[in-house]
Structure 1
Amino acid sequence: MSDTAEMVDEFKPEFEKEPSCSKSVNETVNGSHQFTIKGYSLAKGMGSGKCISSDIFTVGGYDWAIYFYPDGKNPEDSSMYVSVFIALASDGTDVRALFELTLLDQSGKGKHKVHSHFDRALESGPYTLKYKGSMWGYKRFFRRTSLETSDYIKNDCLIMNCTVGVVRTRLEGPKQYSVNVPHSSMGQGLKEILEAEVGCDIVFRVGDESFRAHKLILAARSPVFRAQFFGLVGDRNLDEVTVNDIDPTIFKAMLLFIYTDKLPEVHDVMDSSSSTGTSTNMIQHLLAAADLYNLDRLKVLCESKLCEELTAVSVATTLALAEQHQCAQLKAVCLKFAANPANLGVVTQSEGFRHLEQSCPALVCELLKTLASADEDSSMLPSRKRGGSSIFGLDIAAAGEAADDGGMAESSNPNMRRVRRRY
């Protein structure tokens, strides 16, 4: 082979490596705020350019505020329209965002007035707010005479929702290295030690059954066991404990949780001779045991399971249990479930409800209050960020605005320099 051929071979390009790749992802970080104006009629007469401001809310790392002008933004409109704007309330340069303004129909018919950029493409893309004080909105958001005779005002109250979507761009590249991490097997290992009774140093006598366990593991999981075995009045040499008022099946389930940190399956602890009956009944008793031994996670797991298994027949009993053991989340779910018109008839005819009337009449009163407020709550959309506010008389003299779609956007800085651009 000639020297020339060897040189050609030496400089052949290599294509062994995989081609690299990356991806630019453009997306919005969304957040909402509900703004309630109570005493709308008292806000009128403030004058053009005078506004009511919402509380500050944060979306995408920036602060925002809603400005409502009862007499309009422009003097030339002679207070014929109300104006609504969304303003950038924190320092920022060229913040790009999408907006949605919703005036809530309070008749319950759901005929809300919505101006949204989220469900349609904008010809010039998202709006750009240049600096703090830049605004977007509508000078002629609604004719005032039409608004005041509409279902958008009820009991002299007006409610609007504002959603802001801040545009973010991030770069994704391939992961260079990865290691598969197996799931933890600690719980399974401890369960096997419990079942094999390896190294056990304490015996529990529960009814007609006995359970062997490890004092250190029990003490690590339960403050009650820690005090019993290693507290100031505890007995480190204790090797046998008699447990009263707990069914053996429930105690076994509690031990399984202590060793595995999982809610045990019903078939692992119950058999045909078990006195705890149904799965729901077992979980109810297990919740009581968890409360007795300060096993907070087990208590919450039982609450969650009981929520899944709620029925119109069992909810009254579960409600009484939640009240007795201070399970606030479970209690709230039970009240809402029982107050549902579809369930209420069966609930009030159940044996658990009759017991509730006799043993805890205060809970029955709470149920009636929940029922009374259900209709009112269902007609109001919840706030997704924080409660609204109604601060009257704020005059934003240095704030700018952006006009309706297809029009002209106008923004201003605190020094009153105006920058105008056309879409």
Structure 2
Amino acid sequence: MALEAEAPMLAAAAPPTTSRSVTETVNGSHCFEIKGYSLAKGMGIGKHIASDNFTIGGYQWAIYFYPDGKNPEDNSTYVSVFISLASDGADVRALFELTLLDQSGKGKHKVHSHFDRSLASGPYTLKYRGSMWGYKRFFRRSHLETSDYLKDDCLKINCTVGVVVSSIDRPILNSIRVPESNIGTHFGMLLENMEGSDITFDVWGEKFHAHKLVLAARSSVFRSELFDGVGENKQEIVVDDLEPAVFKALLYFIYTDNLPEDEKSVTSCSGLRNNVSTFQEILEG
């Protein structure tokens, strides 16, 4: 059997990695009940009643209700409703919805929603504590006082906030610690013990036992020799172009990716000097 030089094997490419940016909203809502509306009315333009602070998306918020309106130009014609950032923030981006609840049970709530316009205008940005989003002309006061939104001198305002957050979605890494590879040691023991060997090489009268699948996986020369249709039935192959020490070193490298410890004695033999290009290219592979 003649062993021909093989082209160096290319190093395996690192597997591709992936990541994904996920932008979504952290949503929450708060219902603000205002009892004694008739007493609050007349407190003055620009004066407000504030809800208790509530937390959504890691920030505190509050609802501001202006019974006589926020804008002096409207002359108390409208009530105003706003949502205010009640904690320190740096460019907090959010979507909002303010709803005046219908207390008649008909479900005809008055809704002002930024969620519906988000695709066109994007989230609203609040840059500091006290920044607000809402409506100066939320509802005409004369209509409010004769509507189903006012019951027993009580109003109910619901506010929904969707704080925009972004994160990087990474694959979950395997939490099991993977030990360092020792496959070469195991295959070396397989060669040394000859367990399960199914092919024998006669090299100048010296016998070497090996495994067809290991040889075929590591060398196209052996794969062709052993699995070409005829070679599958071979149990012994005669090698007459390599010295036993060189062939032993070759087998050792195929199984372990290393030269044997006595490599100096191997490299001094005439057989390796005569086949240095073949052996060198296998080592580089």
Output the TM-score relative to the length of structure 2: 0.57
Instruction: Say yes or no: does 1:73 pair with 2:70.
Output: yes
In structure 1, what is the equivalent of residue 19 of structure 2?
A: 22
In structure 1, what is the equivalent of residue 142 of structure 2?
A: 145
Of 106, 109, 114, which residue of structure 1 is paired with 2:111?
A: 114
Distance 2:94 2:12 in 1: 43
CA offsets, 1:225-246, max 9 Å, x none?
Answer: xxxxxxxxxxxxxxxxxxxxxx
Task: Show the 5 A alignment for 1:229-378.
Answer: none
Identity of aligned residues (%): 74
In structure 2, what is the equivalent of residue 158 of structure 1?
A: 155
- Cα root mean square deviation, aligned: 2.0
SS of residue paired to 2:121: coil
Distance 1:144 1:43 in 2: 13
SS of residue paired to 1:16: coil
Of 6, 27, 41, which residue of structure 2 is paired with 1:44?
A: 41
Following superposition, the deviation at residue 16 of structure 1 comes to 3.4
Following superposition, the deviation at residue 172 of structure 1 comes to 1.2
Larger radius of gyration: 2
Task: Show the 5 A alignment for 1:44-63.
Answer: 44-63=41-60
AA in 1 matched with 2:160: T
AA in 2 matched with 1:169: S
CA offsets, 1:153-198, max 9 Å, x none?
Answer: 011100010011111111111122145xxxxxxxxxxxxxxxxxxx
Distance 1:25 1:136 in 2: 25
Following superposition, the deviation at residue 17 of structure 1 comes to 2.7
Distance 1:112 1:122 in 2: 23
In structure 2, what is the equivalent of residue 285 of structure 1?
A: none
Output the TM-score relative to the length of structure 1: 0.39
Following superposition, the deviation at residue 37 of structure 1 comes to 0.5
Instruction: Say yes or no: does 1:129 pair with 2:129.
Output: no
CA offsets, 1:197-226, max 9 Å, x none?
Answer: xxxxxxxxxxxxxxxxxxxxxxxxxxxxxx
Distance 2:129 2:33 in 1: 24
Q: Which runs of 5+ in 1 are unaligned?
A: 1-5, 180-423
Following superposition, the deviation at residue 52 of structure 1 comes to 0.5
Q: Which runs of 5+ in 2 are unaligned?
A: 1-5, 177-285
SS of residue paired to 1:123: helix
More strand by share: 2
Distance 1:176 1:41 in 2: 61
Following superposition, the deviation at residue 39 of structure 1 comes to 0.7
Distance 2:118 2:72 in 1: 33
Instruction: Say yes or no: does 1:35 pair with 2:32.
Output: yes
Of 151, 170, 175, which residue of structure 2 is paired with 1:173?
A: 170
Distance 1:138 1:109 in 2: 24
Following superposition, the deviation at residue 31 of structure 1 comes to 1.0
Change (3 A) 1:104 1:74: same
AA in 1 matched with 2:49: I
Distance 2:159 2:52 in 1: 12
Distance 2:159 2:149 in 1: 15
